[in-house]
Amino acid sequence: MENLKTPYRAVLTIAGSDSGGCAGIQADIKSISACGAYAASVITTITAQNTQGILDIHPIPVSHIEKQLDAVLSDIDFGAIKIGMLHSSEVIDAVSKKLNPYNFKNIILDPVMVATSGDKLIVNDAVSSLKAFLPRASLITPNIPEAEILIGHTIELNNLENSAREIGRLYHTSVLLKGGHLDSHENEITDTLYLQEKDEIITIKNTWVNTKNTHGTGCSLSSSIAAFLSLGHTLEDAVKKGCHYINIAIRQGENKILGKGNGPINHFGLK
């Protein structure tokens, strides 16, 4: 009888490391694993970080980032790529160059610029390079402060849909505009998905959870979407499933305690 081997559904996360384990590569690996895919990683920076903030950022040399990319891309088939913290123009250029030979259909980019604690995660001259890189992505997942940087104006509840569409048309990509920074006064959180190919807006609502344990939510959401894409879901379904997964993880971590600041979500709360 033939021994059939089943390949892993693999996701590559390209991002920074969080020593506290709440965000970055550590959150990505937990999220991808919890959603049923296999996680590989390329680390762009090492942060000295805990639940209260970032104490230091140590950039990985670009030459070593390139070697990490060469190692995994030449050996493993990836169903999706998640990109997080790219802190400099040199790193953005290196990642872009290394991805060029591969025809990845599913690139999820979380335009990380500012941490939950308010710490800046990107140098000033990298913002323009990041904007130029955005059309390479299948989907970008900015929060409200990041989205305001991308389009240069204030975003409020009454212009969420128009803003998501504006970003998508400007950068030629689909957009998940995360509404967690807005106070809806309705005990729910509204995320707005703009699907570029259909020029369509989809509203995704979940119950608001009153907790400070949301450190790493953005990283976890973008990586969970990448996981669901690698498993064969459509972009729309992957986003909806990702938002649902994160909402449950926030609720399951609501009363957990880790450290003295903003704690993590409970990635494995479904288990």
Based on the residue annotation, tell me whether 256 is a catalytic residue of this protein: no
- Tell me which of 24, 30, 214, 243 is the catalytic residue: 214
Distances (CA, A) of 234 to 78, 87, 231, 238, 257: 16, 30, 9, 6, 35
Based on the residue annotation, tell me whether 84 is a catalytic residue of this protein: no
- Tell me which of 218, 242, 253, 263 is the catalytic residue: 218
- Tell me which of 217, 240, 242, 243 is the catalytic residue: 217
- Tell me which of 30, 82, 98, 178 is the catalytic residue: 178
Based on the residue annotation, tell me whether 214 is a catalytic residue of this protein: yes
**Strands laid side by side in the 10-18 sheet:** 53-59, 38-50, 10-18, 80-83, 107-109, 139-140, 174-177, 188-195, 200-207
Based on the residue annotation, tell me whether 178 is a catalytic residue of this protein: yes
φ, ψ of residue 259 in degrees (nearest 5): 70, -165
Of 52, 54, 15, nearest to 32 (Cα)? 15
Ranges of H-type helices in the chain? 24-34, 62-73, 89-99, 126-133, 144-151, 160-171, 217-230, 235-252
- Tell me which of 30, 44, 45, 219 is the catalytic residue: 219
- Tell me which of 16, 21, 79, 216 is the catalytic residue: 216
Based on the residue annotation, tell me whether 269 is a catalytic residue of this protein: no
Based on the residue annotation, tell me whether 217 is a catalytic residue of this protein: yes
Q: Which residues are catalytic?
A: 178, 214, 216-219
